[in-house]
Chain A
């Protein structure tokens, strides 16, 4: 299923021609299928990065495209289509997190308190960026993915969470610090391993 690392931003920047969009607005299933082909990977990837779970990510993709097929009639083209679809994906992923009761404490301090013990890396997955990302609390992961990978501003994140901009700044900073510490632990462990290995 994984097709290997490429650029970190998902493919919502792709464009769809107006003919396909017009056909989709008329309910043409082949046009909907073409839109799915263009954006499903971006949608699924973003959902996987936020949720870290294939079944939940599939639910998000299904939810997003069912909503898209209903709502495309009201899409007026004010924003790029991919950006519109990305917003649907983010909202669906947040709904999934809520449904799974994964929306953790709003307090940044408490948010990271529970993962303090997990900072000791497990060597087998320490090289895996995806695995490191999944160690973060869901809310922190969401902020990190949206800001660092999807280009959301702190203003947009503040609107999304109904919080101040300093709230998402605080979570982002702590998340990056945590990732940095985990990576340092990994480097130390690797150096230690090299020193201990027989020559």
Chain B
């Protein structure tokens, strides 16, 4: 037989058998698939949860929108701390005016009381503002080398 004419059919080979897979193969495949699907779902849930938390962390402050009183209060507190530090530096070179100290203690007592009773920002902010005004005055007095006199 010429090679060009040769085919599997021309060889008159017996028919090749067909084979059936074992009966338990599908249950094994289905179980493997379900297992993979579960672990994928778990991984997906974990990823979604992490993404959700990250999104919340970013979105919540924005959803709350601008909070002028909170921000103003925070600004007053930052300013107060800065003034306190400045005054402390100046006071290190000379005695603080007694009457000013009394006034400062009075404002701080009022602030503490307002916080203790859960006072609104609108109530607390003016107290911080008063404290800052007083601290600024004290700094000005120290800088000028004079005494604070209230009329």
List the interface of chain A (C-beta within 8 A of B). Answer: 1-8, 10-11, 29, 32-33, 36, 40-41, 43-45, 48-49, 57-58, 61-62, 65-66, 69, 127-130, 132-133, 144, 148-149, 173, 176-177, 179-180, 183
List the interface of chain B (C-beta within 8 A of A). Answer: 1, 3, 6-9, 11-22, 25-26, 28-30, 32-34, 36
- Give min CB distance, B93 to chain A, whole Å: 78
The answer on a CB contact under 8 Å between A61 and B6 is: no
Which residue of A44, A129, A132, A173 contacts B20 across the interface (Cβ within 8 Å)?
A: A44
With known contacts A62-B25, A133-B16, A32–B30 Cβ distance under 8 A? yes
Q: Which of A4, A8, A41, A177 has the most CB of B within 10 A?
A: A8
- Give min CB distance, B26 to chain A, whole Å: 5
Chain B residues with Cβ below 8 Å from A58 are 21-22, 25
Chain A residues with Cβ below 8 Å from B28 are 62
Chain A residues with Cβ below 8 Å from B19 are 1-3, 41, 44-45, 48, 57
Chain B residues with Cβ below 8 Å from A57 are 19, 21
The answer on a CB contact under 8 Å between B14 and A127 is: yes
The answer on a CB contact under 8 Å between A3 and B17 is: yes
The answer on a CB contact under 8 Å between B32 and A129 is: no
Chain B residues with Cβ below 8 Å from A144 are 8
The answer on a CB contact under 8 Å between A3 and B20 is: yes
**12 extra A-B contacts, CB within 8 A, seeds A3-B20, A40-B25:** A5-B14, A5-B17, A10-B18, A40-B21, A44-B19, A44-B20, A58-B21, A66-B29, A66-B33, A129-B16, A130-B16, A183-B13
The answer on a CB contact under 8 Å between A2 and B6 is: no
Which residue of B6, B7, B15, B22 contacts A1 across the interface (Cβ within 8 Å)?
A: B22
Top 4 A-B pairs, shortest CB-CB distance: A5-B15, A148-B8, A44-B21, A176-B6
Measured CB to CB, the nearest residue on chain B to A6 is B18
Q: Which of A4, A65, A183 has the most CB of B within 10 A?
A: A65
Question: What are 14 pairs between A and B in contact, CB < 8 Å?
Answer: A2-B18, A5-B16, A29-B34, A33-B26, A40-B25, A40-B26, A41-B18, A43-B21, A44-B19, A57-B21, A62-B25, A129-B13, A130-B17, A183-B12
